[in-house]
Amino acid sequence: MRNKILGVLYGQALGDAFAMPAQVHPDDTERCFGWLDSWQAAPADHIVHAGLPAGRITDDTEQAFSIARAVIDAGAVTLDAAVSGLLDWYDRVDGDNSPYVGPSTRRGVNALKAGEDPRTTGLWGDTNGAPMRISPIGALHPGDIEAAVADTVTVCMPTHFTQPAVSGAAAVAGAVATAMVDGVSLEDVIAAGINGAEMGRQHGRRWFGCSVAFKIEQALAIAASAGDKPCRLRRIYDEVGATLNVPETVGAAFGLLAMADGDPKTTAILAANLSGDADTIGAIACAMAGAFAGYDAIPAEDIAVLEGDAVFREYDTRGIAAGLQRLIAAR
């Protein structure tokens, strides 16, 4: 269990930090780096991450870890814990002046700070902040998709309580929950994600757009098609999408997970070269890969890069893993 929990947390950070320097368009990523398969700092002209050093985690991992710590402190997944974790992170990064805060998160947090009801502050949140920070919640429920989805609904509520956001987060949580069980196949993990997406779609404010499950299946078909990896990545970028739109983000993440056969480092490399919102897609995909393959599958040299990052160290990742393991054992 410890290997799986650490796999989720370090996988999340790996995909986030490794893909962080990727540009918005794959042609620009290729011009900057060629095939991006080594740790790099963000380019000076990066639209969001300019100035960040190689190996730096971003808001994807910071929010996931902050919510995990609040849940551990509370002893359970509660609405108050979700709010506390988000507000703690927002204040830590000076969210009012940070370029890294997503639009739905900023809207929801500002409403929370104004004293509004956290059961309604997320009713307009439709971007990908919910799936990017949900992996520790899935890890709390090995083999129990229903419980993972129920807690996902709670965590989504303060900032991202629309159908696509909850559906996307539930897909990730369901996949992680299933991957936490020893001996499951990657096909089982992906099927659990699609199941979770359909379950999550029953919650949140009705919203427009295609289903998360459809985008996952579209990405999986491309991942299994003929052609080399760069060609299939470009098809995912062009046909599935790689923006902040939840079905695109989550669909692409599952496609990369399948294309990499569940290997965390390969998944991170694919996310970086996909481009778009690469750090978020990488964080999601690699959290699922880390749950599936375990911490031991992440190369030691990459663990060392992550642990060399000052921001990563602030969160005491191994302490979070121990806390999550205690909560699992107490169930």
For residue 88, what pLDDT is reported? 97
Residue 321's closest CA among 297, 294, 298, 302? Answer: 294
100 pLDDT above the threshold of 90: no
What number of residues does the chain have?
A: 331
pLDDT in tens, 232-278: 999 999 999 999 999 999 999 999 999 999 999 999 999 999 999 99
- CB count within 10 Å of CB 151 equals 24
pLDDT at 173: 98
Torsion of Cα atoms, 148 then 174 then 89 then 103, to 10°: -120
The pTM for the full model equals 0.98
**What pLDDT, on a 0 to 100 scale, did the predictor assign at position 330?**
95
User: What is the model's pLDDT at position 107?
Assistant: 95
Q: Which residues contact 166 (CB under 8 A, 6 or more apart)?
A: 130, 152, 153, 156, 160, 200, 201, 203, 204
Q: Which residue has the tokens 């108050």?
A: 80
The closest of 228, 8, 46 to 133, measured between CA atoms, is: 8
CATH architecture of residue range(s) 2-330: Orthogonal Bundle (1.10)
Integer Cα distance of 310 and 218 in angstroms: 38
- From 165, 119, 136, select the one nearest 322 (Cα to Cα): 136
Lowest-pLDDT choice from 64-68, 205-209, 213-217, 261-265: 205-209
Say if residues 213 and 174 touch (Cβ distance below 8 Å): no
**Going by C-beta distance under 8 Å and a sequence separation of 6 or more, which residues neighbour residue 242?**
236, 248, 249, 252, 274, 275, 276, 277, 278, 281
The pLDDT assigned to 38 comes to: 98
| pLDDT above 90 for 147 | yes
What SS3 class is residue 162?
strand
Q: Of 88, 97, 70, 65, nearest to 313 (Cα)? A: 65
The domain segmentation of the chain, as residue ranges, is 2-330
Number of C-alpha atoms within 13 angstroms, CB side, residue 233?
26
Task: Indicate if the pLDDT at residue 198 is higher than 90.
Answer: yes
DSSP character at residue 295? G
Amino acid at 166: V
Backbone angles phi, psi at 51, to 5 degrees: 95, -10
Residues facing residue 205 across a β-bridge: 162
pLDDT at residue 208, as a whole number: 85
Which of residues 9 and 99 earns the better pLDDT score? Answer: 9
Res 331 pLDDT > 90: no
In which region does residue 140 sit, left (phi positive, over 0), alpha (psi from -120 to 50) or beta (all else)? alpha
Contact 229, 260 (CB under 8 A): no
Phi/psi region, residue 227 (left: phi>0; alpha: psi -120 to 50; beta: rest), is: left
Residue 209 pLDDT: 84
